[in-house]
Structure 1
Amino acid sequence: MSSELVCTVIETGDPDGLARFWCTALGWQVIDRWVDAHGTAFVEVGPDRPRLLFQQSSTARSGGQRLHLDIRPVGTTQAAEVRRLVDAGAEIVDDDAAVGWVVLRDPDHAVFCVLTPDERPDTTDAE
């Protein structure tokens, strides 16, 4: 049992602008845009996985964690993977079924998300 790295998430006040920059820098393209159940905008870029995902954040960051990992369970369910990671030392931070992922904190207090085995359920395509 394990997970796969889906993307590195970068929190920003301007997901479209930052995505344009990194697409230019890396020769990549926008793969997807969407807005979650809470109205947060996302822009995903890359050619293949893992990708970069720019997440809208209205919170001004002055040195806090702006990056986090999104992982997807392989060969198991989201709930089973969350249990496995909690048993390994992670802590659940947010488990809001409306968004389709569970936010955990690793033993060093860095947050990361465990997605469902499927592509982003419960999201609205914003393209």
Structure 2
Amino acid sequence: MTSVKQVQVTFDCADPERVARFWCEVLGYVVPPPPEEFAGWDDFHRAQPPEKRGAWFVAMDPTGVGPRLYFQRVPEGKVVKNRVHLDVRVATGLVGEERLAVLEAECARLIPLGATRGKLLLADEENESCLNMQDIEGNEFCLD
């Protein structure tokens, strides 16, 4: 039996490059270089047939540890809550007021990038506090 070596997370969205660049800022990811024969991504997109221009974009962890994020254009908008979401682990190991302060600071950093703040879920007997958020196209994620 073969084991999985890598995981890619795919986002359906209206504007792949915009959403990819948002997630680069959130996670410290980078946009990979374009194919060798192109000076930049704009040149690559211009070389595509009109219906394919801007159809997808990628964000990747510069260390190669985190999963590659792939953003693909789809015609329909988001209708219901995500069944899968990312937890952005900004407060791992922290508890109480220290954890809340880190969650709030990260939220404050992401809102000017286009994120939307959701509900703060306070710690209970089983879970630490986390903060629900949405990216620039309404995809849910948590600051954890």
Fold-level similarity (TM above 0.5): no
Q: Which has the higher helix share?
A: 2
Higher relative contact order (CA 8 A, sep 6+): 1
- TM-score interval (norm. to shorter): 0.3 to 0.5
Rg (Cα) greater in structure: 2
